[in-house]
Amino acid sequence: MIIKKQRTYIYIDGFNLYYGVLKNTPYRWLDLKSLFQKLLNDSHDIQAIKYYTARISVRDGHKQAPIKQQSYIRALQTYIPECSIHYGHYLTHEITLPSAHNSKTEKKKFHKVLKSEEKGSDVNLAIHLLNDAWLDKYDCAVIVSNDSDLSESMKLVKEQHKKTIGLITPSNNRGRKPTKMLRQHADFMKCIRTGILSDSLLPNIIPGTKIHKPKNW
């Protein structure tokens, strides 16, 4: 039996992926193509993997973090020709928050802290998802995120372009379901579990290069 191949584009919210299943694990040196080949069935011809992220800055105690991130991105671009990187940015600003240890009898204490937020990645993903549909680049779009802000772009792709949409939720929590805002537009859904991550890692040294897995990854 001949299986009809779908031109498949994968759109990855890097922030959601990292904090959903990768942070503080030994699986950060992740081979994205290998992962999705395992998650998707043989009807999918993966033609593009679009990874949306932001360049991290040096932080106290994590001075090597930007170097490690760039090593990983270089590895993806070198080892996976279908993979492209699309950058948003981090916005850091000062906010005032109440102390967690205020007693009922004393005056409430507040502290100024720096808060960093990733900006632009979800917008970039939504725009590319729509633009690629207009250009008829894919038959199936696979969204890797649980960000409800992507709901409207998914809805338009379904209604205006009649494309198939898959939703992959990056979460180690078996009880956590994808947000209803996204589920209602998905033709199929899958979750990323630890077992599949351990079987989907890049080579420690990328063949033909000096790019290698960072220490403590």
- Tell me how far apart the alpha carbons of residues 135 and 55 are, in angstroms, rounded to a whole number: 29
Q: Which residues contact 59 (CB under 8 A, 6 or more apart)?
A: 65
- Tell me how far apart the alpha carbons of residues 113 and 27 are, in angstroms, rounded to a whole number: 31
Higher pLDDT, 3 or 183: 183
**Is 9 in contact with 168 (CB distance < 8 Å)?**
no
Q: Report, as an integer, the average pLDDT of 37-53.
A: 97
The CATH number that domain 6-90+120-198 falls under is 3.40.50.1010
Predicted TM-score of the model (pTM): 0.85
Instruction: Report phi then psi at 25, rounded to 5.
Output: -120, 165
Q: Which residues contact 131 (CB under 8 A, 6 or more apart)?
A: none
Higher pLDDT, 49 or 89: 49
What local confidence, expressed as pLDDT, does residue 71 receive?
96
Q: Report, as an integer, the average pLDDT of 62-80.
A: 91
Residue 25 binned pLDDT confidence (cut-offs 50, 70, 90): very high
Q: Which residues contact 208 (CB under 8 A, 6 or more apart)?
A: none
Q: Report, as an integer, the average pLDDT of 38-65.
A: 86
The DSSP result for 4-72, as a single string, is PPEEEEEEEEHHHHIIIIITTSTT-SB-HHHHHHHHS-TTEEEEEEEEEE-----BTTBTTHHHHHHHH
Higher pLDDT, 186 or 60: 186
What local confidence, expressed as pLDDT, does residue 105 receive?
63
Express each pLDDT in 146-196 by its tens digit. 999 999 999 999 999 999 999 999 887 666 677 899 999 999 999 898 889
What local confidence, expressed as pLDDT, does residue 217 receive?
84
pLDDT of 61 higher than 60:
no
Express each pLDDT in 94-146 by its tens digit. 666 677 666 666 677 776 665 555 666 889 999 999 999 999 999 999 999 99
What local confidence, expressed as pLDDT, does residue 45 receive?
98
Each domain of the chain, given as residue ranges in start order, spans 6-90+120-198
Mean per-residue pLDDT of the chain: 87
